[in-house]
Chains A and B, each alone.
Chain A
């Protein structure tokens, strides 16, 4: 049955079946209660949303409105995170919406084999995020003796600044390659994303590596310890570790579902 009164089903994740009591009190987008849609040994975690809020035109407009985007992203993540503490979880892309639970069941049925295979691969593993930044301190050139002319002094300082910036960036880039190679050796899989823009992250220092690693749950402490060592060994760069995350970055890549 489709949702009455223009309601749709917002889908957060596909997971191996688990006790819905574990999601008691978990709220999704717009504060709606989440529920499970079952198909064989799989579930999809969904909550009702107004149909009109998620049609294409509405979504296009809202995605450009940061308060809505942030609230929706945080709600989506809160649900995925809660599911991931209860079961092996395949997070779905933001704003995956169906006309009703019956359609969600159909999607589970059609994608069953693909979902099962993906979940088998993710069982007992988590995603860890690693970002390498240049150290803004290392970017600043040492103050030299003052030149006779203020104009020449200024140009010299600017050149020194550029050189220091380039050097720091080169060092950080080389360090990032080493970090990625070492950490990938501790992981089952890894993905590199485009570096985050400073403007968006608000972090001092330039992001030279933005990577995600799929790590056996039993090895996360080791992974973190190695990341800390790498951080200490590479002056002029800073390594930041995030997670554990649900495996957002290790979802199977396409929507090719055998009929």
Chain B
């Protein structure tokens, strides 16, 4: 739907980690949505920090 433009990762993660229907999957029972956002933010920040160190 977004045509050919590459979607910004930050916009995508806004939606994929905090949006969408939350169903209880078989393998991810204990991962609450807050956790998911939290760990993923850590990933983003870690990658940015690593980029700045270079």
Which residues of A line the B interface, CB within 8 A? 8, 11, 14, 51, 54-56, 59-60, 63-66, 69-70, 73-74, 76-77, 81, 84-85, 90-99, 103, 107, 111, 118, 126, 129, 193, 196, 199-202, 210, 212, 242-246, 248-249, 251-252, 254-255
Binding site for A on B (CB under 8 A): 1-2, 7-31, 33, 36, 39-48
Residues from chain B with a CB closer than 8 A to the CB of A69 are 13, 40, 43
Q: A70-B9, A245-B15 are in contact. Are A11 and B23 (CB under 8 A)?
A: yes
- With a cutoff of 8 Å between Cβ atoms, the chain A residues found around residue B25 in the complex are 11, 95-98
Query: A98-B25, A200-B41, A245-B2 are known contacts; what are 17 more A-B pairs with Cβ within 8 Å?
Result: A60-B39, A64-B39, A65-B43, A66-B47, A73-B13, A85-B1, A92-B21, A93-B21, A93-B33, A94-B36, A96-B23, A98-B27, A129-B11, A200-B10, A245-B15, A251-B22, A255-B23
Question: B7 to chain A: closest CB distance in Å?
Answer: 7
Contacts A/B (CB < 8 Å), 25 sampled: A54-B28, A56-B31, A60-B31, A66-B43, A69-B13, A69-B43, A73-B12, A74-B9, A74-B12, A76-B16, A77-B12, A91-B15, A91-B20, A92-B20, A93-B20, A97-B26, A98-B25, A129-B11, A201-B10, A202-B10, A212-B19, A242-B8, A243-B1, A245-B1, A251-B19
Q: Contacts of B36 on A, CB cut-off 8 Å? A: 63, 93-95
A-B contacts, CB under 8 A, total:
140
Known contacts A73-B13, A96-B28, A103-B26: A90-B21 contact under CB 8 Å:
yes
Give the distance in Å from the alpha carbon of A70 to the alpha carbon of B12 in the complex.
9
- Bound-state CA distance A59–B9 (Å) is 19
Complex: chain B residue closest to A131, CB-CB: B11
CB distance from A131 to the nearest CB of B (A): 8
Query: Is chain A's binding surface mostly helix, strand, loop or mixed?
Result: mixed
Q: Name the one of B8, B10, B20, B42 contacting A94, with C-beta atoms under 8 angstroms.
A: B20
Q: CA of A252 to CA of B22 in the docked complex: distance in angstroms? A: 8
Docked complex Cα distance between A255 and B25 (Å):
11
User: Which residue of A54, A60, A193 contacts B14 across the interface (Cβ within 8 Å)?
Assistant: A193
Give the complex CA separation of A255 and B12 in angstroms: 22
Top 10 A-B residue pairs of the complex, sorted by shortest distance between their CB atoms = A248-B15, A248-B19, A93-B20, A66-B47, A251-B21, A94-B16, A63-B39, A91-B20, A64-B43, A97-B27
Cβ B26 vs Cβ A91 within 8 A: no
